[in-house]
Amino acid sequence: MREKKIPFGERDGTLFRAHEVGNGLRCGCVCPGCRQPLNAANNGEKVIPHFRHAQSNDCTDGFREGVRRAAVALIVQHRQLLLPAFLGTARVSTVSGRLLEDKVELKPATATADSVERFVDLDGLRGHAVLHQSGRQLIVRIKMSSRMEHERYRQLQALEHSSMEIDLHRLTLEQINDPDSFAHAVLQDPSTRFWIRCIRGERLLASAEQKLQLHATELNATWLQEQAEREAEEQARQLALAEEKAERDLALKTHRAMQIDMAEQYPATEQDATVQGRADLIAATMLKAMRAWDGKAVECTACHLLSPPDARFCLYCTADGSEVRSVSVPADIASTIHKRMRCSAKPNMSIKTAPTLALRPEV
């Protein structure tokens, strides 16, 4: 419905608002879009002054074309225009994955042109106004619909000139009829404009990116040096682990051979494979630790039998993954050993983890 109410009529090449001319056909105006005669509606008390076609037709360009041409006329008249704000972020990644950022901001500023051209053809594109200043050009588009014009933006961004858009499609007929409100929306309102391409902003972004790249180069050199040191340390650690494993494997092989020799003298029995038999052996090695090793020993994590404190491996079992850990036997072990065994889960765990022993403890 708004498109039927035309805010500007044209007479002798000049645009007029409806309240500036006679009522009805006396206005002598034609539609800025289809060039057909208009009626001026400016006598109503409740209706905002406007034009409408004298004869009904399908024209929808009168509203948009009239506002667009009136906006361009203001730009030509004043040769001053508030430029949009620009906000961008320069980003550079380092080899470590760190993201360096620097924000670039240009606040809205007023530009004064040496001259202004209206409705300029730019390789198939239409610049509604082109401002010239010290050899530079600024292309201005007046937007009069909510439709996004992605292809047109892409074409404008390909040109070697800054370009901006002034969005007037939300202006009401009342705002357009008020010369001050309309001039503010066209020339000074920061909310109605944005950059399509900002050459100065792009240069600032490129400069910020260059500085970030220099910083990234320094960080990369430091990181690569530290990475080389880390890799060298890891290689040395892996080598030490390999040497330690080889030494342990050799020691374990020697230990297993010793177990086989000792098993001939102290062979395990069937009783040793029972919970009670295993409990008796655990108790016996604890008592031996108190008597023979001053209460110090190492306990097997598999069979829970105690071996001398300097033993690296369990003397009695060959369970996979078994380790030995240092323990101290309490001084009262002789008088409490039977109570300890009655409430201990170690005999059961010993049978479960090491069902058979390689040799029987010498107790």
Query: Quick one: average pLDDT of 77-95?
Result: 97
pLDDT tens digits, one per residue of 220-278: 999 999 999 999 999 999 999 999 999 999 999 999 999 999 999 999 999 999 999 99
- Residue that finishes a domain, picked among 27, 52, 78: 78
Per the domain annotation, does 51 fall within a domain? yes
CB-count burial class (<10 Å; 0-12, 13-18, 19+) for 129: buried
Per the domain annotation, does 69 fall within a domain? yes
Maximum distance among all Cα pairs of the chain, rounded to whole angstroms: 133
pLDDT of residue 1: 47
Work out the pLDDT band at 208, boundaries 50, 70, 90.
Answer: very high
Distance CA 64, CA 145 (A): 8
- Residue that finishes a domain, picked among 23, 56, 78: 78
Per the domain annotation, does 19 fall within a domain? yes
pLDDT of residue 3: 62
Task: Report the range out of 122-126, 153-157, 198-202, 317-321 with the highest average pLDDT.
Answer: 198-202
Q: What pTM was computed for the model? A: 0.69
Per the domain annotation, does 347 fall within a domain? yes
Per the domain annotation, does 89 fall within a domain? no
Per the domain annotation, does 73 fall within a domain? yes
Determine phi and psi for 73, rounding to 5 degrees.
Answer: -60, -40
Three-state DSSP state, 298: strand
Distance CA 352, CA 180 (A): 94
Cβ-Cβ contacts under 8 Å for 142 (sequence gap 6 or more) = 67, 68, 71, 72, 128, 129, 165, 166, 168
- Residue that finishes a domain, picked among 39, 63, 78: 78
Number of domains in the chain: 2
Per the domain annotation, does 125 fall within a domain? no
Burial annotation 82-116 (CB, 10 A radius, 16+ → b, else e): bbbbbebebebebeeeeebebebebeeeeeebeeb
Other C-beta atoms within 10 Å of 47: how many?
A: 12
Range of the domain at 45: 2-78
Whether 103 contacts 96, CB under 8 Å: no
Per the domain annotation, does 298 fall within a domain? yes
